[in-house]
Amino acid sequence: MTIITESALRDLIRQTLILEGGFENVSGGSKNKWFEFESSDTASDPELAKNIFDLVQTAYANIGGHLKFKDFQDISRNANFFVAIDTDDDPEADAVLISKKSNHGRKRMGVGHDGSNVAKKSMIDKMGSQMLDQGVFAEVSGASAHILITRYDAPWVDKEKVDQVLAGKDIEWLGPHPDKKYPGYDGWYYRNIGGEKHIKIMLGNPK
């Protein structure tokens, strides 16, 4: 009778997980550490793409879902850079920040979390710290803008740079917030998205 050691059993489980796919292929099973990956990884690993899509669905459930991500295949089609973290006992990602690379750096396209307080806090902290990095930026409004401005002092982007980043996009520049919110943050504008007019501000450090 062949006796399988504990070490060999762990290796066998690990090999099986790799064959099945998922975030553990990226993280190696590490917990509470952020890992970067790209659209080539999600395109070749449907389990990873589905994991990320589920996190996005949870994060945007209260507004009917994310405009750009309607199914798990959109994860690879509409974004190309991801950073995710595993914060609990299972091997799946629990929070993610999704970006799209451009000539101006990485524009954040969306976020995702599993609904837990730990994952949401990890996501928010990472989102805030990224706004200080050169070449990372986001168009935000509502709760995201409020958090990044009031908790993390994320820098705002002036009209000249916004016009460069959004070249060809029709925007109505406002400057100060029309409701006099966030004094000193004078980068607000209206932009038509999905046939609707939205107030936005660009935060971060686009190239």
List per-residue pLDDT tens for the chain, 207 residues long: 556 666 555 555 445 544 468 999 999 999 999 999 999 999 999 999 999 999 999 999 988 889 889 999 999 999 999 999 999 999 999 999 999 999 999 999 999 999 999 999 999 999 999 999 999 999 999 999 999 999 999 999 999 999 999 998 889 999 999 999 999 999 999 998 878 899 999 999 999
Q: How far apart are CA 193 and CA 104, in angstroms?
A: 20
User: What are the strands of the beta sheet with 95-102, ordered from one edge?
Assistant: 35-38, 81-85, 95-102, 105-113, 136-140, 196-204, 188-193, 171-175
Q: Where are the domains of the chain?
A: 22-130, 137-207
